[in-house]
Structure 1
Amino acid sequence: MLTPATGQSLAGLGAINGVVKDASGAVIPGAKVLVANPEKGIRREMETNQAGIFSAPSLTPGRGYEVTVDRAGFAQYSAKQIEVLVGSNVTLNIEMGVQAQSQAVTVNESTPLVETTKTGVSQVVEAAQITNLPINGRRVDTFVLLTPGVTNDGTFGLVTFRGIPGGNAFLTDGNDTTQGYYNEGAGRTRISSNISQDAVQEFQVQSSGMTAEFGRAVGGSVNTVTRSGTNTTHGTAYWFFRNHSLNARDRYATRNPKESRHQFGGSVGGALKKDELFYFLNAEWTRRDFPAISTVQNPQLFDASGNFIGTCGAPANATQCQNAVNYFKRFFGEVPRTADQDAYFGKLDWRPSERNSFSASFNLMNWISPNGIQTQATLTGGAAIGNNGDSTVRHRFARFAHTGIINPATVNEFRFGWFKDRLYESVNPALAPPNGLQGQLTVQGQGNLGVATFLPRVQPTEDRFQIADNLTWLKGAHNIKFGFDFAHTRDTVELLANGRGSYTYPTFTAFALDLTNLDGGKRWQNYSQTFGDPKITIFVRDWNFFAQDQWRVNSKLTLNYGIRYEYAQFAQPKLFNPDYPQTARINQPKLNFAPRAGMAYTFGSSGKTVLRASYGIFYARMPGALVGNIHQSNGVYQKSITYQSSVPDQLAAGPVFPAFLPSTNLNPPAGTVSIGFPNVALRTPYTQQWDIGIERELTRSTGITISYLGSRGDNFFMNRDLNIGPAAGAYTYRILDTAGAEIGTYTTPGYLRANRVDPRYNRVNELGNFGKMWYDGMVVQVRQRATKYLQGTLAYTWSHARDYNAGGGNSNLFIVSGSPRTVSNGAFAAEKATSELDQRHRLVVTGLVEMPNVKSDNAFVKYAVNGWNLSMIGTFSSAFYWSPTIRVNSNFSGSAFTNTLNGFGGSFRVPFLSRTSLPVEGVARLDARLSKALRFTERYQLSLNFEAFNVFNNVSNTGIITEGFQATTGVIRQVAGMGRGSASQGFPDGTNARRAQVSARFVF
């Protein structure tokens, strides 16, 4: 089940606390309390303080905890079968009877349904859910999408909290395992998983109201807890199998390619020394063969069957046109692709005494995938060949932790972490163009026709060392916690992006002429290339301090409040551009204070209804990719040039297709080099988050929560061009429909090349804090705790996210050198509209049904009829919205850039239509698992499973054609196809068409 976590969360651990009172409601100080878990060898002894409160923090998450309370003159109280979840603070309200009148009181299953001290919005995905719900690819972090306020950020496995692109934190046992370069999970999303499903016990998802202990996240936080050994030896062996015979064809595939996937492994855990030394080991392997289907579905060039329907004619002859058509034929077909992954995990827990416990773990993952950079099942834009290559990922993670009980009221936790990620990608010669082209190519708006501009690359090799320490102190009604966290992250990148150049052709005819190249002409519209040093090493040092308090004002009211301070040091540029001193420094803000506050109020004496609210400020992590982009964009470390054929000296300096310029060409014509740098007072992006909600226990096992979530994002990164000069004049375009009839006009001021402030440069981008975001959401959660036959959850979110064209998580990493995302320079507020990450409605339902057993001595009944269970996840959501775009082949004489109507060269959206006005498509899908358990003895069991993902094959579009217009010198023409579907991708299969698998799992 999904279980809410409490306000005073613990990174990777949990806690049990309570208040001990007599029958009259008076608190009982000096009562002896024992908190124990016999299977884990945990034993904590303490006494209630003057407020009658006891607290056992920093407990290893798990089941089987027991609490025993003794006090002279009172009957003993004992609570058993308590479950402590990651980040939870299990609160017990204990009433002790007089010994002369009462026998000892024993309570089972005493974990409260309603958390009376919880102030934020967070949930825990438990071990039973991870094991029993249908899971595609055994990647447990996909269960994050069961949480309200969370949805997909694109189709490659990223998630967004409250409509914020990226900005999430990923922890493992409390340590930071976020890949800081891209600000994603370790290994990124291309791999099967950075840790085996069987090595994960549970994980906590915090979407709002995080306490001061948590930071470096403007979005949400995902904290994974790994499994540990116990006094009883347990283990598993498993095999998951899939092939194409169980798969439905992708909507945009011409056929269903042969595919197979084997995932197999095992785990074992137990005690090397009872009650003291425990171990857990896991190994898992994945072997996958999944060919990609490559097509080019461009309504201006090819039909769905791959027939050329474009225009090619004079001055190109028939042979030249046919040669150009033949060049495209290699993009239609099947591309071989495989993926192999090996993952290993080990953990030791040592408890030499009641006052000290130590934990050490190590995780290793290797991934290699020829032609596996692109993971989609069907690629309709040529990327399976023209933007693909071989992928290799190496991930390592080690952790050491010590928990020390200084005295019953004071606990110290120390953690050390080491993290390493290495991503290497290379060109596969089998995918290289036949004409010797080594760079990228775009023809009449169709890209991905050459070689990926980012290959070869190591991006990045990342190392992180982390030290954290915190102290928890129980003082009266206050549970005080304070500590620090230091992390040093180093990224080394070897990449010269676009080092072999990129050609852009306005028409198919122009490309046909240059492909044959009988006269050495240059018919390209634009040519760009980068020169310089491909290798760079940068670092980010994070210094974080926090203090927080959970104050039980009385039996009904709990307050959580605290403050966090974050300071980040960045590697400063070693080279700078003397023309622009701003390129010499990256500002390091020193006033990032983040207050946090929350309250929980319990109505009545039953504890069945709780009102909670929270507010906090949360600062973003500075991605290593952005720091590196600042270093490389100064026009000295690397030099990026753009030539436009409309400028004679630039056309003359450009190459003849398919060549690229030699690296010795470091003196290009004036006005062709672009640079970028941060604002001298660059600040850290942050969000203000608040929520208010009420939770009610409907029955002993059913609860409902209704909440409002809100956030406002400020100081987010966007760029503007300091060199473009002011717009001037008025340029009018006639607008024609698809039949050629005039339906209107559009007039815009224009940006002229002659008005550039500094004619030595092309763009001079300034990275600033110009972005803003807004989010409002209403959440309804229903939770059915496990009963004899049923458990499940329901999470419905209505929300509205707006921004200044922030894009998705990957849109904000290399924006220093990128083109501005506004139609006009600096007009950020004009871009305010519904976010691309806005999903107005989202409903997720989970359920696990255990079939009743039939009592019988008949062996057939025992093994064939009994032991069945059915689980499912239903996801129903409204559509995301994209923006209509326009492709400009030429605009007006003297324009600064020829690819937009106003000559600014910024956003390609249609300026006279609303942003984010094209619906992609909603989702309605059901994933299901049918399991049969064969129990041989009490210790040995075999489960046979059949799983189907998108059972009814209700395929939905995840991409559409956004191009609705084309423009050429004074005329805008509507083109057919805008809004038509172009992709039905899905994570982790590369498609959302139905997939199914069988598996066997042996447990002892």
Structure 2
Amino acid sequence: MNKRHLRPSLLALAITASLSMGLNTALAANNDGAIRGTVSLADRGSTNGVTLRVENPATGFSRTLAADADGNFRFPYLPVGRYRISAHKDGLQDVQLSDVEVTVGNATVVSLVLGEDLEHIEVTGSSIRSIDTSTSETALNISAAELARLPMARNAESVALLAPGTVEGSRFGGISFGGSSVGENAVFINGLNITDVETGVDFSTVPFAFYDQFQVKTGGYSVEFGRTTGGVINAVVKSGTNDFHFGAETFWEPEDLRADVNNTYNREGTRLINGDDDQYGSWSADITASGAIIQDKLFFFALYEPRNIDRQSGNSDGSAINDGNDDSAFWGGKLDWQISDDHSLSLLAFSDDREEVTDRSVNGQYLETNYTKHGGKNWALTYTGYLTDDLTAKVLWGKTKSRYASDSTTSMECARVRDYRDGSGSDIGCTSVSLTDSRTNSREALRLDFEYALGDHLLRFGLDNETRTTEMNRRTPGPDQTYYELEAINPGDTINGAVVQGDSYVYARTRSTLGSFDTDTSAYYLEDIWSVTDNLTLSLGLRWDEFDTKAADGQSFLKVDDMLAPRFGLSWDLFGDGESKFYANLGRYYFPIANGLAAREGGGTLDEIRYFELAGLDSNSTSGGLTNITPVLGSQLGDTVTFGAAGSGRDDINQVVDKDLDPIYQDELILGFEQMLSDNWKGGVRGIYRHFNNAIEDMKINVDVAGCGNISGWVFGNPGKTLTLDRQCDDGSTRQIDIDLGQAQDYDLDGNPIGAQEVERKYYALELTLDRQWDSVWSANFSYTWSHSYGNYEGGVNSDTGNDIPGWTEAGDNVVYINSGWGNLPNDRRHAFKARGAWAFAEHWTLGSTFSLVSGRPINARGHGNPYNENTRYDLNYLCVANCDADSNADREFIYLKKGMYGTTSWLPKLDLSLRYDNQWQGADYYVGLSVFNLLDSQQDTDVGEIVVNGVSTPNPNFLATTGTQEPRYIQLSAGIQF
């Protein structure tokens, strides 16, 4: 029968099957998706005996299952790709949907209707409903094909920044999700966590061509995900199919087409950013091959990326030039083995090892070569089993490894000396290396994930275990293993509690660490996805976590267990037509301390800071013929400040670590609404509230305990809460004591106790979105986010001071620091406008654009000294304004420097454009492209000097001077071919 002769009602049934598809959170393992839906009969008869079959034509994968009594079905754990799904019942003709797309982290929802006495009906070119009516999770899903239409910096961070509620970190890079610090996120590739275990800020570097799809989770994610109070980047790499493909593409960023970097100066005219000597150029190529080793059974995908990066920079006065080159290569691949329709194995492996070699010259003469190494080898093996129609399982076992090493040809014989007396921080010694460093961070991961369908309930459960290891071998370079900074100060000013007699002082730091430090993280989760009605879905989940960080000798150092994280989600299809939804999500998320704290305080560490009068400079020749300039140290100023434990472990753990640590966690509430405005347009609004609670920090205490005398020194616990330790008391016995830090952590100038406030961060946001999906001609996306991040604790890092070691920030070092630190936090960017779109304006031609306009962050000015105690070492939120030459803070007059008192940094506009030409040649697909980043060459300030004074009252010439700016305009040329 000719299809044009089908009765209108029958054709309508097929069209309905096509148009009733939608996206729903898969709530499955990290690197796949699902297809679920309903099948019914045209005569409303029983669905008993109806079977569903899903097939991937590209790989030959297929699976068949039976619909339940209500016609519901679900195909979980499907690799991302395009599928064909068909329904069958004896006596009726099959109905089939083709081109059904499965995306990472989502479930595609379909509705199929079987008619009586019909010929085979096939619907192609299926349409995806944009409203996801059965999930409360908020996430951005985007494929490599979509990203190819946009001007994109080729990294995962640039993808994350497309999502509402994300902003770029100012001090360390990285991404802030929902007001969080840049050290609180998690990044996954094919289910393998590749986030750095030492600080949590970085993650493995993978070429863009390796990725197939991205999902950026910004809130409300299920109990399957944990150990993050920020966001999740969830990516999937490409896979092979039955068809062999070979391709190559190249990307070139020429230095000659890059805009000049603007110079910046402090108020005394000293140059801080030397744009005149700044140069950058890069080239890379991606060579890929994929196909079947055994048809329908065994597939491969492989990528090799050679690259060459040249960069040059100069110090502030241009006397020293650093000329660096990185010609490392990336390799990676994936094997997929479909053992049977019910069992499969996948192996992912890649290496992001890289090394940059930098030659440094001073006044035109070669001085040294610096070597910096990053990255390592990573792999994951994943098993997927369809055990029954209702029970499926996934097992992942993997390892990650990332190394950071830095050394120099001069590090053995030269000390690093930096001169800040004019504000520039120029190196005057014969090395530019602060530490000879060798750190290896690794992870061994084991995940078991299960799904069991039980009527209207989808039960999900599993375990998520990781062992995180940091190996440290580092020391301060030079013959005396000490790093020096020279600072200007007014005679009579105070630093580190001592009066300086001259006009300069020396900051001297000696550091060494040798040891291996592990953290065992264990988690179990259970979740019930309950379809209460056809229009209402509830998600009820519970996650149990435990974190156990070890010292160098292997004994438990910081341990927190029995962390129960409930999650509740609601999604309501308001009118039952899939055109609108209301959703809500309420959940708790726990965050483990990264390994960085234990690696510095868990044994094997010597870390001393001393202050001296500057008595002059000494010049001497090294054995290698270099001129080593070091400060002549005068009298020491104040006491030596010591961190860490120099032994092979910590034999005093019960005396310094809280025996009843409270966990770090965040509570989140999201309310949202989405509405289809037309066939292609949808709009949405979302309100978010996040409340970050508690911290685990190293803290300095000085308290008197009845019967035990004075307890002072460095301890590890929760700021502002009760500290439980074992201590020896006056009668010689060792007993457990409780110290309420909220009542007393130190004493004020009059001898009265000062209690510490608890740490807190609050985030409020309202997000508005408007989206038009791609229809082969054009697409567009707009978002506006108003947000406010407020509190006294940024999170895992401290951008105000440049400290990226979680738990080792300044929050607990002095009670005044946390008590006075209230206000707008470093990631508080009140307004963020974002837009992106693509337009196929002519055959073969596509124009793409991304735009963002983000308001500035608060300028959090700080001074030295405070009106509560004698501390003059830390940069606190107080500024001396009278009697500053007095010998004691008690006799000085201070004003409080509220965060943001000096305003904010500049708004950051950024407009990127791309032009791409696609065509075919000799049966191959090829393209050429041009992308212009920061078209308007906006170089607004991203960082300014925030320290008002050196010492108590000596003006800092760098205060409010620009110390960081936007990257200048640059151009990327690209071309590729695929056979």
TM-score band w.r.t. shorter chain: 0.7 to 0.9
Q: Does structure 1 residue 525 correspond to structure 2 residue 502?
A: no
1:993 corresponds in structure 2 to 968
SS of the equivalent of 1:629 reads helix
1:240 corresponds in structure 2 to 251
Q: Deviations over 1:739-780 (max 9, x none)?
A: xxxxxxxxxxxxxxxxx967xx8x635442442111111112
C-alpha change, 1:691 and 1:892, in structure 2 (3 Å) is closer
The percent identity for this pair of structures is: 19
Q: Counterpart amino acid of 2:525?
A: F
Q: Counterpart amino acid of 1:60?
A: P
1:839 corresponds in structure 2 to 829
Q: Does structure 1 residue 421 correspond to structure 2 residue 402?
A: yes
Q: Deviations over 1:570-613 (max 9, x none)?
A: 213549xxxxxxxx863412221111111111122321111111
Q: Counterpart amino acid of 2:670?
A: D
1:263 corresponds in structure 2 to 284
C-alpha change, 1:202 and 1:463, in structure 2 (3 Å) is same
| CA–CA distance in structure 2, aligned partners of residues 32 and 793 of structure 1 | 39
- TM superposition shift of 1:724: 8.7
| CA–CA distance in structure 2, aligned partners of residues 152 and 693 of structure 1 | 24
Q: Does structure 1 residue 204 correspond to structure 2 residue 182?
A: no
| CA–CA distance in structure 1, aligned partners of residues 31 and 812 of structure 2 | 39
SS of the equivalent of 2:158 reads helix
- TM superposition shift of 1:842: 1.0
Q: Does structure 1 residue 688 correspond to structure 2 residue 656?
A: no
Q: Counterpart amino acid of 1:607?
A: G
SS of the equivalent of 1:565 reads strand
Q: Counterpart amino acid of 2:858?
A: Y
1:80 corresponds in structure 2 to 98
Matches within 5 A, 1:527-926: 527-530=507-510, 534-572=513-551, 574=553, 586-632=557-603, 637-643=605-611, 658=630, 673-674=642-643, 677-723=656-702, 764=714, 766-769=716-719, 770-806=758-794, 809=797, 813-814=804-805, 819-820=810-811, 825-826=815-816, 828-853=818-843, 867-886=844-863, 897=873, 911-917=895-901, 918-926=903-911
Q: Counterpart amino acid of 2:510?
A: T
Q: Counterpart amino acid of 1:149?
A: G
Q: Does structure 1 residue 183 correspond to structure 2 residue 200?
A: yes
Aligned 8 A contact 1:7 1:210 in 2? no
Aligned 8 A contact 1:51 1:476 in 2? no
Aligned 8 A contact 1:33 1:68 in 2? yes
C-alpha change, 1:405 and 1:523, in structure 2 (3 Å) is same
2:977 corresponds in structure 1 to 1002
C-alpha change, 1:891 and 1:849, in structure 2 (3 Å) is same
| CA–CA distance in structure 1, aligned partners of residues 959 and 868 of structure 2 | 25
2:350 corresponds in structure 1 to 363
C-alpha change, 1:268 and 1:911, in structure 2 (3 Å) is farther
| CA–CA distance in structure 2, aligned partners of residues 803 and 455 of structure 1 | 34
Q: 2:461 is matched with which residue: 463, 466, 482?
A: 482
SS of the equivalent of 2:561 reads coil
SS of the equivalent of 2:70 reads coil
Q: Counterpart amino acid of 2:973?
A: V
Q: Does structure 1 residue 935 correspond to structure 2 residue 920?
A: yes
Q: Counterpart amino acid of 1:66?
A: R
| CA–CA distance in structure 2, aligned partners of residues 526 and 766 of structure 1 | 29
SS of the equivalent of 2:327 reads strand
Aligned 8 A contact 1:134 1:947 in 2? yes
C-alpha change, 1:595 and 1:25, in structure 2 (3 Å) is farther
Q: Counterpart amino acid of 2:128?
A: T
Q: Does structure 1 residue 14 correspond to structure 2 residue 33?
A: yes
Query: TM-score scaled by structure 1?
Result: 0.78
| CA–CA distance in structure 2, aligned partners of residues 525 and 112 of structure 1 | 67
SS of the equivalent of 2:533 reads coil
Q: Counterpart amino acid of 1:213?
A: E
- TM superposition shift of 1:110: 3.6
| CA–CA distance in structure 2, aligned partners of residues 618 and 54 of structure 1 | 32
C-alpha change, 1:71 and 1:504, in structure 2 (3 Å) is same
C-alpha change, 1:446 and 1:849, in structure 2 (3 Å) is same
Q: 1:56 is matched with which residue: 75, 91, 103?
A: 75
1:302 corresponds in structure 2 to none
SS of the equivalent of 1:554 reads coil
| CA–CA distance in structure 2, aligned partners of residues 899 and 712 of structure 1 | 26
C-alpha change, 1:239 and 1:671, in structure 2 (3 Å) is closer
Total equivalences in the alignment: 851
C-alpha change, 1:894 and 1:612, in structure 2 (3 Å) is closer
1:376 corresponds in structure 2 to none
| CA–CA distance in structure 2, aligned partners of residues 608 and 199 of structure 1 | 35
1:154 corresponds in structure 2 to 170
Q: 2:943 is matched with which residue: 946, 959, 965?
A: 959
SS of the equivalent of 1:407 reads coil
- TM superposition shift of 1:293: 3.3
Q: 2:52 is matched with which residue: 33, 36, 43?
A: 33
C-alpha change, 1:593 and 1:998, in structure 2 (3 Å) is same
| CA–CA distance in structure 2, aligned partners of residues 462 and 29 of structure 1 | 55
Q: Does structure 1 residue 224 correspond to structure 2 residue 235?
A: yes
Aligned 8 A contact 1:15 1:84 in 2? yes
- TM superposition shift of 1:120: 1.0
Aligned 8 A contact 2:47 2:67 in 1? yes
Query: TM-score scaled by structure 2?
Result: 0.80
C-alpha change, 1:477 and 1:965, in structure 2 (3 Å) is same
| CA–CA distance in structure 1, aligned partners of residues 869 and 569 of structure 2 | 60
1:492 corresponds in structure 2 to 471
| CA–CA distance in structure 1, aligned partners of residues 433 and 759 of structure 2 | 28
Matches within 5 A, 1:257-336: 257=278, 259-295=280-316, 332=319, 334-336=321-323
Aligned 8 A contact 1:7 1:120 in 2? no
Q: Deviations over 1:800-820 (max 9, x none)?
A: 111214277465654666644
SS of the equivalent of 1:28 reads coil
Q: Counterpart amino acid of 1:930?
A: L
Aligned 8 A contact 2:543 2:566 in 1? yes
Question: Considering only aligned residues, what root-mean-square deviation do their CA atoms show, in Å?
Answer: 3.7
| CA–CA distance in structure 2, aligned partners of residues 586 and 428 of structure 1 | 37
1:89 corresponds in structure 2 to 107
- TM superposition shift of 1:94: 3.2
Q: Which has the higher strand share?
A: 2
Residue ranges of structure 1 left out of the alignment (5+ in a row)? 188-193, 296-328, 374-381, 511-520, 576-583, 647-655, 662-666, 727-755, 854-866, 986-991
Aligned 8 A contact 2:930 2:973 in 1? yes
2:266 corresponds in structure 1 to none
Q: 2:136 is matched with which residue: 91, 115, 119?
A: 119
| CA–CA distance in structure 2, aligned partners of residues 180 and 504 of structure 1 | 30
| CA–CA distance in structure 1, aligned partners of residues 872 and 388 of structure 2 | 71
Higher relative contact order (CA 8 A, sep 6+): 1
Q: Counterpart amino acid of 2:943?
A: G
2:619 corresponds in structure 1 to none
SS of the equivalent of 1:626 reads helix
| CA–CA distance in structure 1, aligned partners of residues 505 and 690 of structure 2 | 44
Q: Counterpart amino acid of 2:847?
A: L
- TM superposition shift of 1:71: 2.7
Q: Deviations over 1:526-561 (max 9, x none)?
A: 544336x63110001111111112111111011111
Q: Deviations over 1:501-541 (max 9, x none)?
A: 3445453899xxxxxxxxxx99753544336x631100011
C-alpha change, 1:158 and 1:707, in structure 2 (3 Å) is same
Aligned 8 A contact 2:279 2:313 in 1? no
C-alpha change, 1:554 and 1:274, in structure 2 (3 Å) is same
